[in-house]
């Protein structure tokens, strides 16, 4: 809010952090401004339409991950409304939106934590709508968490090895007897874990308890752990939260390395626009559960609806809000954040 | 493992090195201890003069050692469920009971309708009833209990924490009540009802007995008790071996991950249902063996009154006191508590009587649970991590984790994640948060950070 009152309207790329949605849900003027696009297939308008996956190609087959018209309702509340979303192979795409836009909810549908009320999810051409989260993970859908969720009392190496569970074969008996096969498998798992830790740049910490790593290293470890699943898609939930600009820049390079060297598609969820604008090949913008835009960073930067979603409309609505500047605004971002956090942990 | 390392939280690497060494050394050390106990009671003590041997026999009679070993099997089993996988089980006595009754069914003449069946049994061939070899019964009971573990585990899969504990508590009572009323179920006598099944076969010694080295049957005689040290010692050794091996492998890692963060584990491809059920099954397997060891080696009878809730608590106490997750801690905890429970308190009473002229010998053992409870309170106040803690748990108790500390500082404004970065830049602030976390983690769980909550649970 305060940003918009100060009239920050130059470029969204400069706005790194924004509070909650600028308008309260009951605001009729605001609601009028966020009409959901009618076309469920593309959900885009104007300049963004040219990056829609090639017409005529089956989106299920051509994308490594494809979410088809997802709707999620919690009771009477529609958290995500008819959003289609695709991740092409070897791409870096992102999902953005103000707090409470439904990003994390949508994300949780992709990973299987929530069941979509309507719609289906396809991974590598296979319908995984009914597949359990751990199976999705084993199939190649790896994620990190908004609030880091490592196994704190396990070493960095063990953390990575936990994620290899689905790729290892040893059963209870062969573990007890330590069959040659089990020994070899364990040795290889150790090596792979070390390689992954080196890959994300924290090879030295292999023997440290995860809880003792620094914040940045923990973020890296989460990514190494996710990569141990040998994913096809890596879903990163606010990966640069708490990083300084230098770390963010390094992170961009890292994401490209993951895409190019490992051939993994990356989906980022962020509300830090500066990161997203630099890194993404395609951006999808959610606001209050609906997709309001999709396109290249340039498209998004100039998209009027997106600017409004982030900064609020000038004119009538702004005028309405001005009378009480900052009186109860302080609490609003916190509550929105709390809601999204709860949703993630549920 | 228990070496005091100055930087406790950074100590995992050296601790690992020690563990590697211990991996080679423990079987040797363990065998030496068990053999020493055997030789001590079999050969050394009888040849020593009374003033030397009498106190040893009074403080640590052979029967007590056997009881300690039996309880160690139980504690090691519960350690898999509670210590490794972090699933609180208050009904562990159910497996002990089923194991005992399996021994009753397969190693006795419980009911008139039992057909006569002998399989490698040491008892005379014309004895009526079913008589199967102790080791075979151990396996059968282990498998039966594993199945029961799966049955108990299945409905609890969706539950966590308190609810899980309550359901397991219920199951423990269900099993006991089932056996209590088993004398007449639709006209059939299934498990002898209230009196239970008595005169269960003692452990046989097979070839050793045939050669005349050992008594043929390890009854509760002096000679039989001494040989039981070897048999039960072997069983405990096997349980320790299995515990250590499983812990290192794929399943052990999955259990630890489950204990720390169920959701994250499932998101990393760990099948929660399977892994949890396996924890129950493995724990129950040990419980079944413990039940057979108890019924055949110690009491030679089973009755429902022996399988009360108190026993579940006792085993849990052993695990908690010894150090959850640490095999050696749990074994020591089992020895200490079962010794206190069976003979230690009585002896302390006797000694006290001799000095003060009181009459505590009879009354002190009756207050066993009072004393064990006090012990638990003291442990929780001064050494929450247990006697020999797992190196990880020790790290948890000694300091809040970095993220935990940071989340306390940044939690209320999580949306503004950049706060984190600022706090990082301010060392004083970090210290303050750490101090707050220390105070907070002990006092309340309402901070809501998952780390703090886990700490309370463990």
The region, left, alpha or beta by phi > 0 then psi within -120 to 50, assigned to residue B70 is alpha
Nearest one of A76, A49, A227 to A144, comparing CA atoms: A227
Residues of chain B in contact with residue A211, where contact means CB-CB under 8 angstroms, are 395-396, 401-404, 451
**Binary contact (A99, B415; C-beta < 8 A):** yes
| Mutation for testing the A interface, residue in B5, B393, B415, B458 having most A CBs under 10 Å | B415
User: B101 vs A107, B98, B157, B235, CA distance in Å?
Assistant: 51, 5, 27, 19
A241 and B414 Cβ atoms separated by less than 8 Å: no
Mean pLDDT of A140-154: 91
Find residues 210-229 of chain A whose CB sits inside 8 Å of chain B: 211-215, 218, 225-226, 228-229
| Banded pLDDT at A336 (limits 50, 70, 90) | very low
The Cα diameter of chain B in Å comes to 84
What residue numbers bound the domain in which B424 lies?
410-455
Task: Please report whether residue B371 resides in a domain.
Answer: no
* In contact, A192 and A204? CB cutoff 8 Å: no
How far apart are alpha carbons B277 and B80 in whole angstroms?
Answer: 12
Residues facing residue A293 across a β-bridge:
A285
Nearest to A162 among B13, B265, B414 (CB): B265
- Of A64 and A45, the one with more pLDDT: A64
Q: Around Cβ B10, how many Cβ atoms within 10 Å?
A: 14
Phi, psi (degrees; rounded to nearest 5) at B256: -60, -40
Q: What are the φ/ψ torsions at residue B442 (nearest 5 degrees)?
A: -80, -35
pLDDT of residue A327: 41
- Residue A284 pairs with which residues in a beta bridge? A95, A294
Do the Cβ atoms of B267 and A111 come within 8 Å?
yes
Phi, psi (rounded to 5 degrees) for B71 = -65, -30
Cα–Cα dist B203/B275, whole Å: 34
Residue B368 lies in a domain: no
Whether B9 is covered by a domain: the verdict is no
- Of A51, A22, A16, A12, nearest to A314 (Cα)? A22
CA–centroid distance for B137 within its chain: 20
Sign, CA dihedral B129-B133-B138-B143, equals: negative
pLDDT digits (tens, 9 = 90+) for A76-98: 888 999 999 999 999 999 998 88
Q: Do B295 and B426 share a domain, yes or no?
A: no
| Composition of chain A by helix, strand, coil, percent to 5 | 45, 20, 40
In a domain? residue B21? no
Q: Is residue B153 part of a domain?
A: yes
3 state DSSP class of A141:
strand
- Alpha carbon of residue A343 to chain centroid: 14
Contact at 8 Å (CB) between B198 and B306? no
Contact B253 A213 (CB under 8 A): no
Supply A158's token pair.
């063990």
Q: Helix or strand or coil: residue A119?
A: strand
Cβ contacts of B125-132, under 8 Å, gap ≥ 24: B130/B105, B130/B106, B131/B106, B131/B107, B131/B201, B132/B106, B132/B107
Per-residue tokens: B238: 């096997």
pLDDT for A215:
86
Our CA-based measurement puts residue A221 at a distance from the nearest CA of chain B, in whole angstroms, of: 13
Residues A240-285 pLDDT 10s: 887 788 888 888 889 999 999 999 999 998 877 777 888 899 999 9
Q: How many beta-carbon pairs under 8 angstroms link A with B? A: 172
Return the H-helix or E-strand segment holding A77: strand A77-87
> In 10 A of CB B204, how many CB atoms?
24
- Rounded to the nearest angstrom, the minimum Cα separation between A164 and chain B is 8
Test the B interface: residue of A162, A234, A244, A245 with most B CBs within 10 Å: A162
Partner residue facing A334 (CB), from B253, B413, B420:
B413
Q: What is the mean pLDDT of chain A?
A: 76
The phi and psi torsions of A120 (rounded to 5 degrees) equal -140, 160
Out of B253, B269, B278, name the one closest to residue A134 (CB): B269
Of the candidates B74, B369, B90, the residue with the CA atom closest to the CA atom of residue B239: B74
The minimum CA-CA distance between A134 and chain B, rounded to whole Å, is 4
Q: What string of pLDDT tens digits covers the 458 residues of chain B? A: 334 344 333 334 444 444 555 556 788 889 999 999 999 998 888 888 888 888 888 899 999 999 999 999 999 999 999 999 999 999 999 999 999 999 999 998 887 666 788 888 888 878 888 899 999 999 999 999 999 999 988 888 778 778 888 889 999 999 999 999 988 888 888 888 888 898 899 998 888 888 888 888 888 888 899 999 999 999 999 999 999 999 989 999 999 999 999 999 999 999 999 999 999 999 999 999 999 999 999 999 999 999 999 999 999 999 999 988 899 999 999 999 999 998 888 888 888 888 888 888 888 888 888 988 898 899 888 888 888 888 777 766 666 666 566 555 544 333 334 333 343 444 444 444 444 444 444 333 333 333 333 433 33
Asked if A16 and B418 come within 8 Å (Cβ–Cβ), the reply is yes
Q: Are strands B107-108 and B117-119 parallel, antiparallel or unpaired?
A: unpaired
Angle (nearest 5°) at CA A65 between A61 and A67: 100
Distance from CA of A49 to the nearest CA of B (A): 32
State which of B284, B307, B330 marks the end of a domain. Answer: B307
What DSSP state is assigned to residue A155? B
Q: Are B102 and B141 in contact (CB under 8 A)?
A: yes
Give yes or no for A336 touching B (CB within 8 A): yes
Asked if A336's CB is within 8 angstroms of B415's CB, the reply is yes
CATH code of A2-140+231-345, in short, is 3.40.50.300
Spatial distance between the Cα atoms of B336 and B239, rounded to a whole number of angstroms? 18
Judge: A152–B403 Cβ closer than 8 Å, yes or no: yes
Mutation for testing the B interface, residue in A98, A135, A136, A152 having most B CBs under 10 Å: A152
> Among A327, A346, A343, which Cα is nearest to A99's?
A343
Give residue B442's pLDDT: 39
The pTM for the full model equals 0.78
A267 beta partners = A93, A235
Does residue B18 lie in a domain region? no
User: What is the pLDDT at residue B133?
Assistant: 92
- Give pLDDT, residue A60: 83
- Among residues B280, B307, B334, which one ends one of the domains? B307
| Burial (Cβ within 10 Å: 0-12, 13-18, ≥19) of residue B422 | middle
**Nearest residue to B41 (alpha-carbon basis) of B59, B14, B18:** B59
Q: Determine the pLDDT at residue B24.
A: 65
Asked which of B276, B307, B338 is the last residue of a domain, the reply is: B307
Note whether A141 and A227 are within 8 A (CB). no
Contact between chains at A19 and B269 (C-beta distance less than 8 A): no
Spatial CB neighbours of A309, under 8 Å, sequence gap ≥ 6: A21, A22, A34, A97, A98, A101, A285, A287, A292
- Does the residue B254 lie in any domain? yes
Q: Is residue B346 part of a domain?
A: no
* In chain A, where the domains are located: 2-140+231-345, 150-229
Using a CB-CB distance cutoff of 8 angstroms, which residues of chain A are in contact with residue B393? Answer: 153
Instruction: Return left, alpha or beta for B172; rule: phi > 0 is left, psi -120 to 50 is alpha, else beta.
Output: alpha
Q: What interface predicted TM-score (ipTM) does this complex get?
A: 0.76
Q: How many distinct structural domains can be found in chain B? A: 2
Q: What angle do CA A82, A85, A91 make, to 5 degrees?
A: 170
The label of the residue with tokens 């409870």 reads: B373
- Residue B336 CB contacts under 8 Å (≥ 6 apart), including other chains: B318, B321, B322, B387
**A185 to each of A171, A174, B249, B275, B401, how far by Cα in Å?**
12, 11, 10, 19, 32
Q: Which of A26-35, A211-220, B72-81, B203-212 has the lowest mean pLDDT?
A: A26-35
For residues B210 and B302, give the distance between their C-alpha atoms in angstroms, rounded to a whole number: 29
């Amino acid at each position: 809010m305060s940003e918009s009152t100060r009239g920050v309207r130059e470029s969204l790329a400069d706005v790194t952090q924004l509070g909650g949605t600028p308008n309260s849900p009951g605001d009729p003027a605001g609601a009028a401004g966020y009409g959901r696009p009618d076309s469920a297939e593309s959900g885009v308008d104007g300049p963004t339409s040219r990056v829609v996956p090639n017409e005529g190609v089956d989106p299920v087959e051509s994308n490594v991950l494809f979410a088809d018209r997802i709707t999620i309702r919690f009771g009477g509340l529609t958290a995500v409304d008819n959003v289609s979303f695709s991740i092409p192979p070897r791409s870096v795409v992102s999902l953005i939106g103000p707090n409470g836009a439904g990003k994390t909810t949508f994300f949780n549908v992709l990973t299987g934590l929530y069941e979509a009320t309507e719609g289906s999810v396809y991974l590598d051409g296979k319908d995984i709508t009914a597949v359990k989260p751990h199976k999705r993970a084993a199939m190649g859908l790896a994620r990190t968490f908004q609030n880091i969720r490592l196994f704190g009392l396990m070493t960095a190496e063990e953390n990575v090895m936990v994620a290899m569970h689905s790729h290892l074969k040893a059963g209870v008996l062969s573990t007890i007897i330590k069959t040659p096969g089990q020994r070899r498998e364990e040795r290889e798992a150790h090596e792979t874990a070390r390689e992954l830790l080196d890959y994300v740049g924290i090879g030295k910490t292999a023997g440290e308890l995860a809880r003792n790593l620094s914040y940045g290293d923990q973020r890296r470890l989460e990514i190494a752990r996710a990569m141990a699943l040998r994913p096809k898609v890596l879903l990163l939930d606010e990966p640069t939260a708490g990083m300084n600009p230098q770390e963010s820049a390094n992170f961009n390079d890292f994401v490209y390395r993951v895409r190019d060297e490992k051939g993994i598609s990356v989906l980022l969820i962020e509300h830090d626009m500066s990161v997203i604008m630099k890194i993404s090949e395609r951006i999808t913008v959610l606001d209050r559960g609906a997709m309001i835009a999709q396109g290249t960073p340039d498209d998004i930067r100039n998209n009027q609806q997106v600017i409004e979603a982030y900064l609020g409309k000038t004119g009538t609505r702004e005028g309405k809000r001005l009378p009480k500047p900052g009186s109860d605004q302080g609490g609003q971002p916190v509550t929105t954040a709390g809601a999204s956090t709860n949703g993630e942990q549920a | 493992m228990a070496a005091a390392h100055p930087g406790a939280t950074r100590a995992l690497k050296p601790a690992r090195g020690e563990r590697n060494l211990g991996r080679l050394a423990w079987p040797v050390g363990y065998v030496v201890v068990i053999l020493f106990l055997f030789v001590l009671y079999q050969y050394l003590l009888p040849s020593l003069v009374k003033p030397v041997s009498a106190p040893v026999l009074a403080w640590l009679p052979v029967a007590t050692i056997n009881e300690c070993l039996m309880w160690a099997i139980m504690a090691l089993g519960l350690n898999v469920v509670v210590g490794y996988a972090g699933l609180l089980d208050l009904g562990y006595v159910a497996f002990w009971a089923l194991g005992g009754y399996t021994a009753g069914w397969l190693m006795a003449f419980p009911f008139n309708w039992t057909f006569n069946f002998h399989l490698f049994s040491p008892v005379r061939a014309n004895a009526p009833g079913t008589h199967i070899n102790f080791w075979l019964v151990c396996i059968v009971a282990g498998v039966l209990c594993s199945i029961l573990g799966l049955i108990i585990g299945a409905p609890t899969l969706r539950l966590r924490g308190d609810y899980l504990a309550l359901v397991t508590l219920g199951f423990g009572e269900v099993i006991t009540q089932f056996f209590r009323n088993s004398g007449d179920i639709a006209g059939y006598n299934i498990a002898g009802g209230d009196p239970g099944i008595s005169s269960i076969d003692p452990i046989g010694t097979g070839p050793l007995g045939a050669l005349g080295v050992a008594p043929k049957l390890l009854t509760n005689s002096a000679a039989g008790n001494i040989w039981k040290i070897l048999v039960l010692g072997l069983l405990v050794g096997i349980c320790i071996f299995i515990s250590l091996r499983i812990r290192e492998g794929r399943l052990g890692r999955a259990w630890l991950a489950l204990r720390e963060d169920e959701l994250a584990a499932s998101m990393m491809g760990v099948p929660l249902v399977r892994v949890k059920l396996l924890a129950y099954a493995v724990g129950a397997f040990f419980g079944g063996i413990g039940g057979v060891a108890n019924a055949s080696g110690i009491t030679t009878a089973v009755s429902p009154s022996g399988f009360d809730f108190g026993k579940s608590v006792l085993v849990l106490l052993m695990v908690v006191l010894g150090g959850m997750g640490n095999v050696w801690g749990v074994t020591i905890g089992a020895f200490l508590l079962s010794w206190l429970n069976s003979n230690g308190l009585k002896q302390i009473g006797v000694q006290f009587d001799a000095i003060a002229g009181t009459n505590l010998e009879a009354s002190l053992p009756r207050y066993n649970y009072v004393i064990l409870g006090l012990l638990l309170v003291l442990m929780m106040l001064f050494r929450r991590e247990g006697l020999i803690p797992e190196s990880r748990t020790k790290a948890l108790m000694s300091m809040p984790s970095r993220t935990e500390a940071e989340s306390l500082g940044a939690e209320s404004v999580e949306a503004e994640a950049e706060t984190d970065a600022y706090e990082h830049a301010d060392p004083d602030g970090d210290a303050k948060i750490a101090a707050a976390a220390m105070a907070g983690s002990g006092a309340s769980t309402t901070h809501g950070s998952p780390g703090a909550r886990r700490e309370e649970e463990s």
